[in-house]
Every structure is written in C-alpha cells, then in structure tokens.
Structure 1
Amino acid sequence: MDAAAAFLLSIIFILASPNIEAAQQFSGMFVFGDSLVDDGNNNLLGSLAKANYFPYGIDFYEGPSGRFCNGKTIIDFLGELMGLPYLPAFASTFTSVGINVVNGVNYASAGAGILDETGLQLGDRFSLSQQVQNFETTLNQLKSQMDEKELSQYLAKALAVMILGSNDYINNYLLPSLYTTSSNYTPKDYADLLIGHYTSHILALQSSGLRKFLLAGVGPLGCIPNQLASGRAPEGECVSFVNDIVEIFNTRLRSLVDQLTRSHPGSIFVYGNTYGVFTDILNNPDSFGFSVANKGCCGIGRNQGQITCLPMSIPCLKRDQYVFWDAFHPTEAVNQIIARRAYGGPPSDCYPINVKKMAEV
C-alpha cells in the first residue's frame, strides 16, 4: 500500500469510528436489558430474535452487529456522553480474545423480560435472572484484576442501566394464545408481579456492590408499528389500552425508585421516563425533525409492523425522518434524543436527577 492509500484509509477509519470526546464520568457501565439495547448477545444464541444481517446496522460503522436499529442504540449514545467506549456483549467476552471488561459489559438480550418465561417462543435469550448471573461472571473477572478495596470503589462509581419490561407485555401479557398471564392477572396485579421480580434482581446487583442505577420505564407500546398493525385502534391513534397498562407498570417503577432510595441511602436510584420522552416525540414529530411516526422504516404488512426487517430488504431512504426503524424499535435518531434527555434532562425526563448529576454524586 502506498502512502496516499494508507493516508486515505486512516481518514476513513477515523470518520467511521465512534467519536468519544467526553471525559470519562463513570468507572464503567453495566447494561441489563432487551432488544432495545442488545449489542450482539443474541448473535451467539439459538434465538429467532437476531439482527446480525443487513439492513440492520446500515448506518452503524461496523455494519450489522446485532443491534436492532439502523445505527446506534441508546446505550451507545449514552456511553459517548459519559466518555465510555462501546461496550462488549457479554457473550463475546468468551468467544473473542483480549476483550477488556473494565469499562463495562452489555448483558442485554433480545426477547428478554423481567420474568424468566417471557419471550420463550423466540428461543434462547438471557432473561434478567440470567443476566444478573452473567454479571457475577464478569465480577469474578474483575476480582482477578483488582484488590477488594479497588473493586469496591470501582463498582460504587459504575453505572448500572436497566431497560426491561417491554417484552413482558408484547411477548407475554399481550399474547394470550401463548401465555396465560392476562387470564391469571389483572393489569395492576401483573405490574405488581413484574415489580416484585424486578426488585429482587435490582437488590441482588446492589448487594454485589453496584450503587448507581438508571431504571428506564417502558415506552408507549400501544404506538409501535407492531401494535398499530393489529388494527385495534382507530386510524391515526395508538392502542390506548396497551398504553394504559404500561403506564401502570411505569407508575409502580417510579414509586420503587423512591422506596429504594429511602431504604438504601448509600445508593442512587433513578427513573428514566422513556414513556414521556417518546410521547413528546410522537405528539410533536415535526418539531423533532420527523415526518413519519406511524410505521417502520423497514418491515412488512400494515404500518410495516407485522414482520421486522427481512434479510437484505431495502429500508426507507430518509431514515433520520422516521421515528421507528422496524415493527418494535426506534431509529438511531430517536435513540439519540432519548439518551441526551436521560443524560442532561430535567426531573420530568430523569427522576429525581439525570445521569450527568449521578456522575457527580
């Protein structure tokens, strides 16, 4: 390779690579979640829920990586704001040599829920309970790199992000042909069941040494293309009863933040109001630069929401003008807005404090 070609290649690499400009504000970030933030764990699982093929990743510097998006996820943007590099998927820490887990690990898995049985019809996935166990595996790796005091200080300054609950509705409660939960529980009782399980896993992580938690609420699922494609709402409207039951869960989760804050004064618990931020975007798409808010950029069927992106399908051209990437997931443009508001927004976006302030505590 001549000098000119080498120079051109280096410029292309710089432009394509993630741009981390902020100073590192947390010692690391550990992510527990579902397909909204999965960055490749399901690539290595026997799951029907995969995104390691085109057009997924069409706008991501690595191409299809397992992210259920055209580009970056909320976690990617949040990490950039916090001065952290992209996190390795937990599954890759065993299949690739030399992966550094000190900056954190992503345990999120498409199809995963708070309940173990959620997403069962999709095949293998790391449920929340398994993700917590996987964190313990990482913890053992960190113990080999730090002494007890260093590890304690490191964990206290790390951020745990938990984005779960969506699948417990769309891949459990709202599928009465496959799950009995909607017959066995009222929406209020189901929300209580979820919060009870969620609490036990949050406290397990807290007892392992983590002290800073961002707990994201569930978005307005009644407005996603998949639910609009069901025909259960008038044209131009969301499926209101789905949003209503999701809000019950979110109300419980915000109350849990207050409860945990009172009972664990040495820890910080924050509620991320994903529902509110996403509703702002859907109610005022034009003001956020979006022109299409009721169908996926790629997909098949009504509202392009009945089936997600098929391999090698051609997505919309103006992806930054779409709120939804596919039947279930937002576009990179929406993920950036959500991440920025979680990082620096007011208490209505991130309660009681935002991520930036969490780093300062």
Structure 2
Amino acid sequence: MALWILCLLVVLGMGFNMVSGQGEDPFGPEGGRRREMVPAMFIFGDSLIDNGNNNDLPSFAKANYFPYGIDFNGGPTGRFSNGYTMVDEIAELLGLPLIPAYSEASGDQVLHGVNYASAAAGILDITGRNFVGRIPFDQQIRNFQNTLDQITDNLGAVDAAQALARCIFFVGMGSNDYLNNYLMPNYPTRNQYNGQQYADLLVQQYTQQLKTLYNLGARKFVLAGLGRMGCIPSILAQSTAGSCSEEVNQLVLPFNANVKAMLNSLNVNLPGARFIYIEIAHLFEDLIANSKIYGFSVVNRACCGIGRNRGQITCLPFQTPCENRDQYVFWDAFHPTEKVNIIMARKAFNGDTSIVYPMNIEQLANIDIEPN
C-alpha cells in the first residue's frame, strides 16, 4: 500500500473504505495538482494559522465574518487575515491542497492533513481564558491523538509509523502566552515570574508537548518563532508616540532563545527527529527595513481596525478595510496581511539559515526518515 495513502488515513479518525487504484494519487499530476513533496501536513498553533476551528466555539476569538477573508476565494472562513495564512502558502509550495480545519474536516477533505490551530490558544492551558472558548496546545495534541489512535487500530502501528515519518508537523505556539496571559493585568503571571523564568516555564512545557507528538510518530517538525510583538498595532496603540514597545520585544527574546536551544537538543536526543526553526522576528525586521522594496507603504498601522494605529479595537464585522491591502504589513491589530504571510512562507520554504535553521522546509520535506 502506498505510503501516502497510509499517511492520509491517519487523519480520518474513522474507518476509510479503500477504493480501486489504491496505489494511485488522485491529487498527483494526472489529477491536475503538482507533485506532492510530502503526504500530508498537520498544523498546530494559534490565530496566526487558525482557519476556522473557533467558528463554532463559545469564543470571542473568531474571524468568520467580513471583512476577514475579503481576498480569500470563498470569503470569510475563520482565518485571521484578508486572505492566505502562512501555512496556506506552505501547503501550496509542498504541492498539497489547502489543509482543512479539524472542526470542519470530513471525508476526502482530510486526505492531506488537518489544521488543529485555535485562536487564543497557548502552550499553557490557562492562556487566552479572556476569550472563553479556545483549544490549547495540549487539547490540539489530544485531538490529533484521538484520530491517530482510531486509524492505528485499523492499519497497525508499523504502517502508521512509516507514513507519519514522512509528514510535516507545523507548530506555531507562544504568542498568546505573552499577549493573552503574561501581559494581561488580570493574570497573576507577571507577578510570579520574570521574563527569563516565564520563558523557561513555557519551553519546559513546550518540550514535553513536542515529545508527545514525537512519541505519536511525528518526525519532521517546523517550529515558528515569535515575531517582534512589541511592534504590532495593538501594542503600538498603547504608546502615545505610536512607537514599538522595546519592553515587549525584549520580553520574548528569551523564549526564542530557549526554543532554539530546545530544538538543538531534540535534534540530538530524539532518534530520527528533524526540527527546524523559522526566524519570524528576523523576517519581520527584514520586511520593515526593506519595506519599499517589498512594496509596503504602511508598516505601523492596521488595514482594518479602530483607534490609534487602528489597533485599539481590532477589525469589526462589516467594517470597511483599507483598499490598498498589499501595501500594508498588518491586516488587523494583531495579524499580518496575506501578502506578508505569503512572503514569509516562501522565505521559510527555500531560504537560507539566517531565516530558517538548520535547513529550510523544502530540504526537510526531501529528507527520507525511517521511523524508529
């Protein structure tokens, strides 16, 4: 049985009736889609890459309304963007279709992976409680595990493990643990930990979560670092001068440093594992420093929002956004525009080690890894 079929089955979460031609890929060149570099991509994260998992939750963290999705084919989906997210573009570069949200995936929609990301989610379960409903990283892993357990019963552990070893696991966590936990006045966290202690706490938990995915069979990991969060419109709006908060930018540095140290350790100590790290902060600094080259004319104000820097209140239902969206770095108070997401995805896909370390996504996809 072809390995791509085994991997696709993993995410179904229920029995899958095999049809004739089981060794052929209907999504391959003959089906009109470019060659798939990997069988599937599984996505874990927050609102930067959520594509609809919060839509039916009792949550304030939703984006399933216009003008979100104004540039997305089909309109609003729950993506916190005017169009593509970063993982949408990465999926296309890998030759995959857009990966469906876990909450909406069914039948052949899930054949190439599942997106478990949830707006307001964090590494810590308590993160994001201001928004009420959200799916923390631990629960995202359990959601993946539930489907994996069911399909492994049907396929057997050996076949499932062979397939999973070829899949990409994209993880982008941590932003909310700062924005919607540590920096929130109604959380006690800031009084309990200094910046380094909090980064240590987060990455200690993060390490265990990633090891859980490894123990479930994941081998190829893409970890996204935190960006220059002191420069997002929501934080800029808190300054009368409209300037970046260096306090916030400095606060997240230990987290990124810890994640890179963790990555190096896991690459050494977990047999067969390949972890790579995307330098989101470096990508953002490059976009700002070379904004005119990239075609951006507005780097410090949201395309859709209200108040100072259009960041005091984020994009509201049926609000009229800016018309020249490709000239804006930020779509709303917290999230980049589709254009930024696409640029970052392409650089992470085939960039050098100053952007993605120790190899890029394309190189990771092409590595053959045997399960242990």
The alignment's TM-score, normalised by the length of structure 1, stands at: 0.91
**Could you tell me which amino acid in structure 1 is paired with residue 311 of structure 2?**
G
SS in 2 for 1:26: coil
Q: Aligned residue for 1:251?
A: 257
Query: Which deviates more, 134-143 or 122-131?
Result: 134-143
**Could you tell me how far 1:193 is from its partner in structure 2?**
0.4
Counterpart residue number, 1:65: 77
Distance 2:316 2:269 in 1: 47
Within the alignment, does 1:109 sit opposite 2:157 as a pair? Answer: no
Match of 1:84 in 2: 96
User: What's 1:353 paired with?
Assistant: 359
Which residue is 1:193 aligned to? Answer: 201
What are the equivalent positions in structure 2 for 1:86-101 lying under 5 Å apart? 86-93=98-105, 97-101=106-110
In 2, Cα distance between equivalents of 1:278 and 1:328: 13
Q: 3-state DSSP class of the match of 1:44?
A: coil
Matches within 5 A, 1:111-260: 111-143=120-152, 146-175=155-184, 177-231=185-239, 234-235=241-242, 237-260=243-266
Distance 1:99 1:21 in 2: 15
Q: Percent identity?
A: 49
Moved segments of 4+, more than 6 Å: none
Return 321-330 or 22-31, whichever deviates more.
22-31
Q: In the TM superposition, what is the alpha-carbon distance from 1:113 to its structure 2 partner? A: 0.5
User: What is the deviation of 1:99?
Assistant: 4.4
Contact 1:47/1:124 (8 A) holds in 2: yes
1:23–1:141: structure 2 CA closer, same or farther, 3 Å change rule?
Answer: farther
Q: 1:211-262: CA deviations, max 9, x gaps? A: 0101110110000000000017x44x31111011111110111111101011
Deviates more, 1:127-136 or 1:20-29: 20-29
Q: Give the residue type in structure 2 aligned to 1:274.
A: I
Instruction: Supply the distance in 2 between the matched residues of 1:65 and 1:216 (Cα, whole angstroms).
Output: 23
Query: Out of 7, 24, 37, which is 2:49 matched to?
Result: 37
Describe the superposition over 1:176-225 as per-residue Cα deviations: whole angstroms up to 9, x where unpaired: x2111111001000000000010010000000001010111011000000
Equivalent residue in structure 1 for 2:282, among 276, 279, 288: 276
* Contact 1:25 1:359 (8 Å CA) reproduced: yes
Structure 2 distance, partners of 1:22, 1:240, is: 44
For the residue of structure 1 that corresponds to 2:100, the secondary structure is coil
Deviation of 1:285 (Å): 1.0
In structure 2, the partner of 1:23 is: 35
Q: RMSD in angstroms over aligned alpha carbons?
A: 1.3
Deviations 1:257-315 (A, max 9, x none): 10101101311011111111011112221111100000100000100001111111100
Q: For 2:93 and 2:322, how far apart are their aligned partners in 1?
A: 28
Cα gap change, 1:141/1:75 in structure 2, threshold over 3 Å: closer, same or farther? farther
8 Å Cα contact 1:101/1:138 also seen in 2: no
Cα offset, 1:142, TM superposition: 3.3
Distance verdict in 2 for CA 1:78–1:145, change over 3 Å: farther
| Amino acid in the other structure paired with 1:140 | D
Return the alpha-carbon distance in structure 2 between the equivalents of residues 174 and 301 of structure 1. 20
Q: How far does residue 150 in structure 1 lie from its aligned partner after superposition? A: 2.4
Q: Deviations over 1:90-142 (max 9, x none)?
A: 1113xxx5244331100000000011000001011000010010011221343
How far apart in 2 are the matches of 1:142 and 1:231? Answer: 52
Task: Report deviation, 1:148.
Answer: 3.0
1:14 equivalent in structure 2: none
Q: How many residues align?
A: 336
Tell me how far apart the structure 2 counterparts of residues 245 and 124 of structure 1 sit (CA, whole Å): 26
- When normalised by structure 2's length, the TM-score is 0.88
1:128-180: CA deviations, max 9, x gaps?
A: 010010011221343366343321111000010000101011111111x2111
- Name the counterpart of 1:16: none
What is the alpha-carbon distance in structure 1 between the residues aligned to residue 87 and residue 349 of structure 2?
11
Provide the secondary structure at the position in 2 that maps to 1:42: coil
| Correspondence for 2:12 | none
Local SS of the residue matching 1:257 = helix
Name the amino acid aligned to 2:39.
S
Query: Within the alignment, does 1:306 sit opposite 2:312 as a pair?
Result: yes
Q: Tell me what 1:294 maps to.
A: 300
The answer as to whether partners of 1:224 and 1:294 remain within 8 angstroms in 2 is yes
Cα distance per residue 1:50-103 (max 9 Å; x no partner): 00000000000020000000000001000000011111111113xxx5244331
